[in-house]
A and B are shown apart, each in its own frame.
Chain A
């Protein structure tokens, strides 16, 4: 298929974001330290414009462009929208933190924007090549972001670890992709799906490729036993970077898993379902148990992430439309909760305080009751206590698992979520029941407060009225 100008309209959101990133890059050269705010404003403006374009272009149909390597569909539109919103949240939450530490420079915005662009490309990938390009664009931006505070030793160590292990994960993925290419003769998801449907398990190379691709996916998600990088990176990176890392890329990783496993390897569901089951049980178990032992809040939330990844896998492995929709619901909800939780942590890490240990949260309720309430809401939501939306996410996943006859798996999952409830409660205990060493009220920027309010209300209202988001998730998989 030759190049058509119409293709450009399909990728308009990505083009706008690319233009924004380049504009910030250039603009930053002409700004002095007083004027850095323009980077921030321009980045948010660009993200908002991209979001608007995604909204304008979205319809119920499917557009495939660039010789079948790029796809625009309702599924992708929703995930892109959420990614863009989360990126805007990231910028708003992180401004005061980065400015106070002298890290509020143009490179920060440029790297985050390029990473976001990588995610959008991943979400819209319709061939392994596009997917890999998006993934690497994301990963290569995240490595420097983790080490963004260049005087921080743990930061440098974390970035090194992340780089080495991330490269290993990408290598696995690439190896698997090359196997799949060998077996099918194509990179396109549609073409691979065709061959897989015809040959299935008969073709051993396909199975081989599947395993390696799956390892790559598990690496990017941070599922046990490919989770080793996650706690270290969370601990070493600056809080806003963790906030970014924990929220939007999970959505991109989910899109990657869906595109690969369902769109192209859907016929092998029985095989990857079993692998995912093992990964899911290990992740839920290890994540929840190890999180209890953590005293560092970032590490604790890292292990909590691992357990949530297990729940996302539970939804996927059910292999039904409801299961996929449940996993998507869970991913979106998890990203919202992570953004909110790390957002609060980034917001209170000001005036020289760096929130690292759990004890740093003591008595937050007396310092800023609203922020404490928001963080408590996120914790209840992560623990799966209604009426927060985390409950519905868990319910849908459990429902999907029981529907395919795996009731025992649901029981295992709930047993570990009881264990998990303890460490979330401990955070709430620190917020509300302990007294702060320094109880001066916090003074916070207005826009960050608005953002956290929107974020928190979303978690609460989606829990009370989950029908809308669930409807979109169902629609994404029914087409």
Chain B
């Protein structure tokens, strides 16, 4: 089972499936055209989820190394390989990707009337490319997937987005592109230091402090834009507000996670000394995101914008968890907490994928009916849409970190870890529990509860079959992780322990006996 190229299949099945969907077309003169297209798209999405399951069930959770490794020459004269593999960090994210895409396809079913084949194809191709990002172990392959991901999202926001979509989508593209080209230069630089484009070789590469700092900054530009961290987060509210529901779901649930994944795969293990030196900056930016963006979310009038800001605040938690480890290392009396911080960040990423995806789907449900995202346009929705109201309340509670939901697990782990690091980190981080409760529940109060706001709200119909399926599945996932997070944490634990052990070793030449015989690597002018 391990030998079968499951990763390749999970990447290319949706890409070719997406091309197939595109070719199947949406002829308006053929009555069955669009319906067939959508069924095909759904079939591809479900099939992709099914072929990604062996990655979970066949995964050996007892070891930290790469599994399901595939290695084939791609551009041999340039030392670039088709090199794939997953570990405990990337595997859950791949499953998240294939799982969420199903709901995106279903959510677009009735809503997308302009060229549904192109819409569905874009999401399927994006799915394959995102799985590629999570599984690529060759730096160039990673970069190809990383950039290729932008194209479908650019098109999705630009074609099916709201009134200000062109501004939003170009801003989205340029921000991400800006961040990533510096990463490309860093990757090429490390190729000449290590003689290989393999990310695993980068992990073992000794680098001088100056080089590490510059490489760290190059990575930071790429990943901070993606996460997004304060102050390069401004593209996200724009993109979210303008994107169609499916685009928002993918952005929040998966694309943001790619930034967090990048920190774990690149920044921490490749430049541990620079990360340790700059961890104060990273923690400060994370705390600003948690507290300041939390307040910004409080005053939003637009539901999507509110959830977008809430995403930034929650992702601040993730980066906080990742960069706490260094202040824990610096205190010799504290022995635990480093692993918990990173694990907490990972759980938070997965959980946020489900919760934010679900919340955007909820907003989409309302928007499809009344074409407004303004909080003020609603009120008392629960009176006419009881099922929907129930789901919204549930996901809002999860977003606020209610125990029993997945949102609680990650936040608790990060806060516990931050207590080990510094009381004030924990204190500031914990304010998010209050803030998140405030902005989410206040929104729920204004939209869902109270008297029926106006006649248009009074005429709303409750969830249809497809919407119930979407929200129900996501609710089940949120509950499952919230009540029984052990399987998820067990899968990640060895990998993250290994990562923590690895970043404790300085990679400055001369510090480590294993690296001592490597020459000093000066940064070229």
Contacts and interface: CB of A to CB of B under 8 A. Distances in A.
Contacts of A407: 185, 189, 523-524
Contacts of A406: 524
Given A414-B185, A474-B77, A386 B147 contact: yes
Contact of A432 (B143, B145, B158, B181): B158
Contact of A380 (B151, B159, B174, B185): B151
B75 interface: yes
Given A396-B78, A398-B188, A402-B192, A386 B144 contact: yes
B71 to A, nearest CB: 16
A403 B192 contact: yes
A411 B188 CA distance: 11
B174 A421 contact: yes
Contact of A418 (B73, B151, B181): B181
21 contacts: A385-B147, A386-B144, A386-B147, A391-B144, A395-B188, A396-B78, A399-B78, A399-B188, A402-B192, A403-B192, A405-B524, A408-B525, A410-B188, A414-B182, A425-B154, A425-B170, A428-B154, A433-B158, A433-B169, A466-B75, A470-B77
B270 interface: no
Given A380-B151, A422-B170, A395 B182 contact: no
Interface string A395-431: 1101100110111101100110110011001101100
Q: Which 4 A-B pairs have the closest CB atoms?
A: A405-B524, A414-B181, A386-B144, A433-B158
Contacts of A200: none
B184 interface: yes
A323 to B, nearest CB: 13
A433 B159 contact: yes
Contact of B184 (A387, A414, A470, A474): A414
Contacts of B73: 467
B155 interface: yes
- Is the contact region of chain B dominated by helix, strand, or loop, or is it mixed? helix
Contacts of A441: none
Given A385-B147, A386-B144, A433-B158, A425 B185 contact: no
A470 B192 CA distance: 19
Contacts of A408: 525
A471 interface: yes
Nearest to B160: A433
B173 interface: yes
- Size band of the B side of the interface? 35 or more
Interface residues of A, number: 35
Interface of A: 380, 385-387, 391-392, 395-396, 398-399, 402-403, 405-408, 410-411, 414-415, 417-418, 421-422, 425-426, 428-429, 432-433, 466-467, 470-471, 474
B159 A432 contact: yes
Contacts of B144: 386-387, 391
Interface string B205-218: 00000000000000
Given A411-B182, A418-B177, A467-B73, 11 more contacts: A385-B177, A386-B145, A392-B75, A399-B78, A402-B191, A407-B524, A417-B181, A418-B174, A422-B170, A429-B158, A467-B75
A387 B192 CA distance: 23
Contacts of B423: none
B189 A402 contact: yes
A405 B166 contact: no
A398 B177 contact: no
Contacts of B189: 402, 407
A399 B182 CA distance: 13
A396 B184 CA distance: 11
B133 to A, nearest CB: 12
Nearest to A467: B75
Nearest to A417: B181
A432 B170 contact: no
Contacts of A411: 182, 185
A385 B150 contact: yes
Contacts of B74: 467
Nearest to A418: B178
Contacts of A466: 75
A368 to B, nearest CB: 14
Given A411-B185, A467-B77, A433 B524 contact: no
A385 B184 contact: no
